[in-house]
Amino acid sequence: MAITRRRFLEYSGGLALAFAAGRVLAVDPRNGKPKRTTSGFDPNVFVHVATDGLVTLVCARSEMGQGVRSTIPALLADELGADMARVTIVQGDADKRYGDQKTDGSTSIRNGYEPLRKAGATARTMLVAAAARRWKVSPASCVARDHAVFHGKRSLGFGELAAEAAKLPVPPPEEVKLRPRSEMRHVFKDLPLIDGPAIVAGKATFGADVRLPGMLVAVIARPPVVGGRVSRYDAKRALAIPGVKRVVEIPTPKPPYAFQPWGGVAVLADNTWAALRGRAALEIEWDEGPNAEYDSDRYRITLSESVHAPGSLARNTGDVDAALSKAARVIEAEYHVPHLAHVTMEPPAAIARVEGGKCEVWAPTQYPQEARTQAATTTGLSENDVQVHVTFLGGAFGRKAKSDFVAEAAFLAREAGRPVRIQWAREDDVRHDYYNAVNTQLLTAGLDERGKVVAWRLRTAFPPISSTFKPTNQPSADDLQQGITDRPLAVPNVRAETCRADAHVRIGWLRSVYNIFHAFSVNSFIDEIAHARGEDPRAVQLEILGPDRIVTLAELGVDKLSNYGDSLEKHPIDTGRWRRVIERATEMARWDKRRADGRVLGLAAHRSFLTYVAVVVSVVRNGAGRIAVDEAWLATDAGTVVNLERARAQMEGAVIFGMSHTFHGGATMKRGVTEQSSFADYRLVRIGEAPRRIHVDIATSDGPPGGIGEPGVPPVAPAIANAVFVLTGQRIRELPLTLRLVT
Amino acid sequence: MIKLKVNGAVRELDVDPEMPLLWALRDVLGLTGTKYGCGQAQCGACSVHLDGEVVRSCVTPMRRAAGREVTTIEGLSVDGNHPLQRAWCELAVPQCGFCQAGQIMTAAALLASNPKPSNTDIERSLAGNLCRCGTYLRIRAAVKKAAGIPEE
């Protein structure tokens, strides 16, 4: 490997390091006291150069499998000209000085790319200036590389320059020049997996792995229905169990639930086993509250009725009603995707200590600053008195951006007067999730005599995420930018409507969010149109996408598009890039030769998080007669990709992730209670179901970076459904497809 | 008192004999490389060796471990240099990493009894180990690499 791992490893198993007061502080997790301080040069909060030459780089985004700790420091180091053998990585605590730390929306690189390069380049510029001043030469005649500044044959190490550089004024960003890409030595290629050795040795510290002296372990018996409350409880039997120390009632949250604890009764014990036994021994009567009537089967009918009536306009061009009434042929289909649960392998866990007017938290959080806010709110402390350390995240997918579990830990630590680890059991995780929205869509297309699509109407109903934060019962037009209002359609008459959908569980975001069901319906529907016309699904995909162009708001029939928080000038909707990923994926899969190859293929393509992805899958009936994906091809154009290796890994993982909700996934509720509670009934793809091969092609690009973590997921389910139609003649309009396919 | 050997060292623990080995390892001995994923032997994150055989430590009561030898990920090798650990790093298998100790411990027991496993052997052996990140293809490839089986 090009990069030596030694230095990175020093801290990759530890976690509690913080940047503060202009010095690198290594904090001992057992007592919160600094272990070591180093003087040196820190032109910004991301880079520190010690006088002994050690360079410390901060990763302020959370590591949850996407490889951000292998990617961000390499980007900083390449701009700086640092030798990775003399770099140490610090995981940033919650701190607004890092800017946005919320690790979701596939934003770490797409938003961080330029500012992080600027941070590295600023440090380099100042080290070069210090060297040039020492040598009395022009900075332009000096070069920073290999941890030193060179002028001809002379050189000065970064450490030798740190003290002088620290005395120089920090140049304004516009005066700092980024390196040309050719000078970036490690990035834009495969980067080593920095934390791999710690992970395979069992030394990486995840949320529940932090241990503090005197710490109690808490598990909570939560109301079965969201919005329910404890009406009475008896802790006597629980307190009789050896090791159980306290039983504490958690306040009942008031809607909107946001990131408040769910409520219930906590059992605090010396160890997890005692806490779990104590919880089982609690005698509790619940008041189920207003959501106890929620039945997801009945709700499906409600959503279906909702999309069969006109909704609120989200997108409009031409006159859909007139075009539909004149159409030679009308095709209509209704699609349904259930609530999906995150089921991260590591269930939520967090550690808190409240002592002497301060609160310290260790948590596997995607959203450290929000975790800090929640801990402060819960304990009544000021945010300045709350410190949040970020551990490794054992899977996240959006779940760990919600800080309810951090608030639970902080509340209980304050009540107990001792450090507390809150531990969610698997059944807690499956039953009390922030579920991805359940969705029903009705798609109606009008075709002219030649089969060309002249009208396209889409109605969608799903309880939006915003319902978790304020009273609302309908998606906004903005919610539809994930695959509906931003979807290019070379169709003259298009209308999209949002329809009513009340929330009865906590709705949250799960890896790729609304794109999951919007990509499913749109790609399935295009496939249905192709088969209705007896034509090649790829040809119809490309026809409905239309000619290569930059899609305008006027064409989309919308006033504005949030475009994942980025401008349309920087990240336009480019049908050429979309077409090319379709062509690349189908070429890799030998789409045109599929019949000769004896293969059954399905295709889907989608743009999300500013990245284009096309997926082709091959499906077979396996030995057991079940439908299986035996091979998958994924082509993506994500603009500039900093770490090709982790981008490929994310895309491979996205195929498996998408397969889980296609074949197994879905949470259902009866009387307000989630029916699933374990991996036996909330099933995930296992190794024997994984395809034989997954091929990933990443377009070479120097365009602005798009997202990587999420965009691979949305096309997977429709590609499978489209292939299953070819294999079986059954059109899958509902996930998971196992419900409809008894083989 | 329950006496057992953990990663080669004799340990005596004053714990409830019904306490699952997982919690004794994690909460009492501080060996946190073994993970809690479900508590019901459905995910394999807690896999350890008991006298060389893979067990799910979340459903293995301490009384069953008494007098026996337990190996956890921390004790699989010195300095993380077991062929599987090396192959795991070379192929960059882990994503979040949470399930990987269980995957490796299960695969290590497989290779100990079946040094040249087929794809089917690998899949059967690891059928009880979930990975939500979806690293299965690389897991399969890394087991074969560690076993010296060329990729097809």
> What is the bridge-based pairing of β-strands B53-56 and B47-50?
antiparallel
pLDDT category, A244, cuts 50, 70, 90? very high
pLDDT of residue A477: 83
pLDDT of residue A468: 97
- In contact, A219 and A364? CB cutoff 8 Å: no
Q: Is A17 a residue whose pLDDT tops 90? A: no
Residues A525 and A590 in one domain: yes
Instruction: State the DSSP H helix or E strand holding residue A44, giving kind and residue range, or none if neither.
Output: strand A40-44
Give the residue from chain B lying closest to A632, CA to CA.
Answer: B137
Structural domain contains residue B8: yes
Interfacial A residues in 249-278 facing B (CB < 8 Å): 270-274, 276
Residues B12 and B41 in one domain: yes
pLDDT category, A405, cuts 50, 70, 90? very high
Mutate to test the interface with A, among B2, B7, B27 (most CBs of A within 10 A): B27
Is omega for the bond preceding A736 within 30 degrees of 0, making it cis? yes
Residue from the list A196, A201, A426 with its beta carbon closest to the beta carbon of B92: A196
A244 part of contact set with chain B, CB < 8 Å: no
Residue from the list A344, A655, A688 with its beta carbon closest to the beta carbon of B134: A655
pLDDT of residue A237: 98
Neighboring chain A residues of B19 at a CB cutoff of 8 Å: 271, 273
B52 part of contact set with chain A, CB < 8 Å: no
pLDDT of residue A623: 79
Domain end point (choices B57, B75, B93): B75
What span, in angstroms and rounded, lies between the C-alpha atoms of A123 and A143? 13
pLDDT category, A2, cuts 50, 70, 90? very low
pLDDT of residue A25: 39
A108 part of contact set with chain B, CB < 8 Å: no
Domain end point (choices A200, A225, A254): A200
Domain end point (choices B75, B109, B127): B75
Neighboring chain A residues of B137 at a CB cutoff of 8 Å: 652, 690-691, 693-694
What span, in angstroms and rounded, lies between the C-alpha atoms of A655 and A359? 40
Strand ranges inside A356-491, DSSP E:
358-363, 386-390, 420-423, 439-447, 453-461
Q: What is the amino acid identity at position B134?
A: G
**What does the CA dihedral A291, A293, A297, A298 come to, rounded to 10 degrees?**
-110
**Cβ-based neighbour number of residue A401 at 10 Å:** 22
Structural domain contains residue B68: yes
B137 part of contact set with chain A, CB < 8 Å: yes
Residues A411 and A282 in one domain: yes
Specify the pTM: 0.95
pLDDT of residue A31: 41
Burial class (CB within 10 angstroms; exposed 0-12, middle 13-18, buried 19+) of A109: buried
Residue from the list A65, A200, A680 with its beta carbon closest to the beta carbon of B88: A200
Q: B130–A686: do the CB atoms touch at under 8 Å? A: yes
pLDDT of residue A738: 64
Specify the CATH number for the domain of residue B101: 1.10.150.120
Structural domain contains residue A75: yes
A644 part of contact set with chain B, CB < 8 Å: no
Residues B23 and B55 in one domain: yes
pLDDT of residue A624: 80
pLDDT of residue A1: 30
Mutate to test the interface with A, among B25, B133, B138 (most CBs of A within 10 A): B133
Instruction: State the DSSP H helix or E strand holding residue A176, giving kind and residue range, or none if neither.
Output: none
B126 part of contact set with chain A, CB < 8 Å: yes
Residues B17 and B32 in one domain: yes
Neighboring chain B residues of A426 at a CB cutoff of 8 Å: 37-40, 42-43
Express each pLDDT in A593-622 by its tens digit: 999 999 999 999 999 999 999 999 999 998
Mutate to test the interface with B, among A200, A245, A420 (most CBs of B within 10 A): A200
A346 part of contact set with chain B, CB < 8 Å: yes
Give the residue from chain B lying closest to A427, CA to CA.
Answer: B38
Neighboring chain A residues of B2 at a CB cutoff of 8 Å: none
Q: A395–B23: do the CB atoms touch at under 8 Å? A: no
pLDDT category, B49, cuts 50, 70, 90? very high
Residue from the list B20, B89, B132 with its beta carbon closest to the beta carbon of A273: B20
Residues A136 and A277 in one domain: no
Residues B8 and B57 in one domain: yes
Structural domain contains residue B152: no
* Nearest CA-CA distance, residue B40 and chain A, Å: 8
Express each pLDDT in A433-446 by its tens digit: 999 999 999 999 99
Express each pLDDT in A481-499 by its tens digit: 999 999 999 999 999 999 9
Mean pLDDT across A512-539? 98
B36 part of contact set with chain A, CB < 8 Å: yes
Express each pLDDT in A160-205 by its tens digit: 999 999 999 999 999 999 999 999 999 999 999 999 999 999 999 9
Residue from the list A63, A392, A678 with its beta carbon closest to the beta carbon of B40: A678
Residue B79 phi, psi dihedral angles, 5° rounding:
60, 25
Structural domain contains residue A102: yes
**Cβ-based neighbour number of residue A22 at 10 Å:** 12
DSSP label at residue B67: T
pLDDT of residue A18: 32
* Nearest CA-CA distance, residue B66 and chain A, Å: 18
Nearest alpha-carbon partner for A565 in A38, A65, A111? A111
Does ipTM come in above 0.90? yes
Express each pLDDT in A547-556 by its tens digit: 999 999 999 9
Residues B85 and B128 in one domain: yes
Q: Which pair of tokens denotes residue A712? A: 């691979």
Tell me the residue range of the domain where A43 lies. 6-200
What span, in angstroms and rounded, lies between the C-alpha atoms of A299 and A385? 45
Mutate to test the interface with B, among A345, A634, A676 (most CBs of B within 10 A): A345
Residues A228 and A86 in one domain: no
Residues B24 and B89 in one domain: no
Quote the mean pLDDT of chain B: 97
B13 part of contact set with chain A, CB < 8 Å: no
Structural domain contains residue A616: yes
Residue from the list B42, B124, B138 with its beta carbon closest to the beta carbon of A679: B42
Q: Is A10 a residue whose pLDDT tops 60? A: no
Residues B40 and B59 in one domain: yes
Structural domain contains residue A205: no
pLDDT of residue A416: 98
- In contact, A293 and A671? CB cutoff 8 Å: yes
Specify the CATH number for the domain of residue A379: 3.30.365.10
Residues B91 and B45 in one domain: no
Interfacial A residues in 422-481 facing B (CB < 8 Å): 423, 425-426
Q: What is the amino acid identity at position A184?
A: M
Residues A286 and A330 in one domain: no
pLDDT of residue A33: 42
Residues A216 and A324 in one domain: no
Structural domain contains residue B88: yes
Quote the mean pLDDT of chain A: 94
Residues B97 and B69 in one domain: no
Q: Which residue has the tokens 């380099």?
A: A124
pLDDT category, A133, cuts 50, 70, 90? very high
Give the residue from chain A lying closest to B35, CA to CA.
Answer: A346
pLDDT category, A212, cuts 50, 70, 90? very high
pLDDT of residue A625: 82
Residues B70 and B82 in one domain: no
Residue A46 phi, psi dihedral angles, 5° rounding:
-100, -20
Structural domain contains residue A206: no
pLDDT of residue A700: 97
Mean pLDDT across A501-528? 98
Mean pLDDT across A650-654? 98
Structural domain contains residue B151: no
Q: A694–B137: do the CB atoms touch at under 8 Å? A: yes
Domain end point (choices A368, A394, A423): A423
Q: B138–A65: do the CB atoms touch at under 8 Å? A: no
Residues A514 and A576 in one domain: yes
Structural domain contains residue B125: yes
Neighboring chain A residues of B131 at a CB cutoff of 8 Å: 345, 656, 687
Q: Work out how many CB contacts closer than 8 A connect A with B.
A: 191
pLDDT of residue A523: 98
Mean pLDDT across A44-67? 97
Structural domain contains residue A673: yes
Mean pLDDT across A632-642? 98
Express each pLDDT in A723-733 by its tens digit: 999 999 999 99
Cα–Cα distance list, A462 to A315, A393, A401, A456, A482 (Å): 17, 29, 21, 20, 13
B151 part of contact set with chain A, CB < 8 Å: no
Structural domain contains residue A428: no
Q: B88–A196: do the CB atoms touch at under 8 Å? A: yes
The number of folded domains in chain B is 2
Mutate to test the interface with A, among B13, B95, B144 (most CBs of A within 10 A): B95
Q: Is A6 a residue whose pLDDT tops 60? A: no
Residues A320 and A245 in one domain: no
Mean pLDDT across A638-652? 98
Residue from the list B23, B37, B97 with its beta carbon closest to the beta carbon of A272: B23
Residues B84 and B43 in one domain: no
> What is the bridge-based pairing of β-strands A143-145 and A148-151?
antiparallel
Express each pLDDT in A309-356 by its tens digit: 999 999 999 999 999 999 999 999 999 999 999 999 999 999 999 999
Q: A684–B72: do the CB atoms touch at under 8 Å? A: no
Specify the CATH number for the domain of residue B17: 3.10.20.30
pLDDT of residue A275: 98
Q: Which residue has the higher pLDDT, A11 or A733?
A: A733
Give the residue from chain A lying closest to B97, CA to CA.
Answer: A199
Residues B14 and B56 in one domain: yes
What span, in angstroms and rounded, lies between the C-alpha atoms of A508 and A432? 11
Neighboring chain B residues of A691 at a CB cutoff of 8 Å: 137
pLDDT of residue A38: 59
Residues A381 and A460 in one domain: no
Residues A68 and A95 in one domain: yes
Domain end point (choices B45, B75, B105): B75
* Nearest CA-CA distance, residue B113 and chain A, Å: 20
A30 part of contact set with chain B, CB < 8 Å: no
Cα–Cα distance list, A390 to A211, A350, A370, A434, A571 (Å): 14, 10, 12, 21, 31
Residues A626 and A675 in one domain: yes
Tell me the residue range of the domain where B83 lies. 78-146
pLDDT category, A16, cuts 50, 70, 90? very low
Residue from the list B31, B97, B136 with its beta carbon closest to the beta carbon of A195: B97
B96 part of contact set with chain A, CB < 8 Å: yes
* Nearest CA-CA distance, residue B103 and chain A, Å: 10
Q: B19–A271: do the CB atoms touch at under 8 Å? A: yes
Residues A417 and A481 in one domain: no
- In contact, A147 and A83? CB cutoff 8 Å: yes
Mean pLDDT across A58-74? 98
Residue A172, C-beta contacts closer than 8 angstroms, at least 6 positions apart: none
Residue from the list A65, A201, A208 with its beta carbon closest to the beta carbon of B85: A201
* Nearest CA-CA distance, residue A525 and chain B, Å: 28
The number of folded domains in chain A is 3
Give the residue from chain B lying closest to A206, CA to CA.
Answer: B98
Structural domain contains residue A591: yes
